[in-house]
Amino acid sequence: MWIFGWKGPSGFSARSTAEEVTEGIDGNGLTAIVTGASSGLGEESTRVLALRGVYVIMAVRNVEAGRKVKEAVLKESPSAKIDVMELDLSSMESVRKFAADYIASGRPLNILMNNAGVMATPFMLSHDGIELQFATNHLGHFLLTNLLLETMKKTVLESKKEGRIVNLSSEGHRMAYGEGIRFDKINNEAEYKTILAYGQSKLSNILHAKELARRLKEEGVEITANALHPGAIATNLLRFHSTINAVTNLVAKFVLKNVQQGAATQCYVALNPQVKGVSGEYFVDSNIANPTKHAKDMDLAKKLWDFSVDLTNPK
């Protein structure tokens, strides 16, 4: 990681902002979905993508909060193209409704930014009875991506422009359970550890991108899939741990990235021409990085894919 502002091969570092990594890029004619776009990294990514001319659909759980972000962006950039749609990633019904409504709208889709997430929650189950962090961070995005993939393929054929799928992971994937993914213990409350379960969900984001990249390459489809770590950022992800959150916010200005820097890598992977044709990689500070052994295990990626298909298929 280029933590001291040293530039990596891309020419960018941990100090680079989302505006800097997309400077001079014309996103007109591109359409993007950003999940979790009503705050934090999703909000900043929405602002910067829209600033570059991308038509952004904000996929948010809180529609009213999403509309306020839209108004703020339009105030800064009156020509910005933004819409707000409701999406709760912890509910497969909500994911399916969002995808169905999006497909029915006839909109193209060039960029899918799977940004939303929860972190270190107490043990809770999703609407579908699945551990919340795994359900929200991985499974909801897995289902959303699969449901919108044909729309992306059609867009690629019609626009002759590369499609990009961007999964927000985390260096937290290094703190997953010892076996990586606990397929037979996803809902085991007795052995649940908040941080390890978070790590498991973030490892899943990388494995999802790797297996998806392999499948798309095998098909010969011009869509890339990559994962990334945005950096250590003060956001509301740690809202379930008030003391830690308070300390984090206190020291944030000294040791953590701000939101503008935090959103840089996802905007870089989504829009920068340097990433054209690059797929199945893991990025940190707008540069390709080296994830854990588990994150590079293609057998584990395939097993997770099949497991996720089983969990998301209507019974």
Structure-token match 């991108």, residue found: 209
Please state, in angstroms and as integers, the Cα–Cα distance from residue 39 to each residue in 60, 64, 142, following that order: 9, 12, 22
Active-site residue (options: 55, 102, 177, 192): 192
Closest CA to 211 of 302, 283, 112: 302
Contact status, residue 16 vs residue 261, Cβ threshold 8 Å:
yes
Active-site residue, 55 included: no
Q: Which residues are catalytic?
A: 192
